[in-house]
Amino acid sequence: MKLMRLGEIGYEEPAVMLDDGRIIDASTEFGDYNEAFLSCSGLEALQSWIESGCPGGIEKKGDYRIGAPIARPSKIICVGQNYADHAREFGAEVPPEPVIFMKATTAYNGPFDQVEIPPGATKLDYEVELAVVMGMTAKRISQAEARSHIAGYSVFCDYSERDYQKQRAGQWVKGKSSDTFAPLGPLFVTPDELNDPQSLRLWSKVNGELRQNGWTGDMLFHVDYVVSYISQFMTLLPGDIIATGTPGGVGMGMNPPKFLEAGDLVELGIEGIGEIKQRIVAS
Distance CA 86, CA 77 (A): 18
Is residue 148's pLDDT more than 90? yes
**Of 128, 121, 129, 127, which is closest to residue 161 (Cα–Cα)?**
121
Other residues' Cβ atoms within 10 Å of the Cβ of residue 282: 11
What integer is the mean pLDDT of 184-192? Answer: 98
Cα torsion through 14, 270, 277, 242, rounded to 10: 60
Is residue 170's pLDDT more than 70? no
Q: What is the model's pLDDT at position 195?
A: 86
**Of 228, 23, 60, 209, which is closest to residue 132 (Cα–Cα)?**
228
Band of residue 214 on the pLDDT scale cut at 50, 70, 90: very high
pLDDT digits (tens, 9 = 90+) for 50-80: 999 999 999 999 899 999 999 999 999 999 9
Q: What is the model's pLDDT at position 87?
A: 78
Distance CA 128, CA 213 (A): 10
Distance CA 208, CA 264 (A): 10
Residue 30: alpha-carbon gap to chain centroid? 23
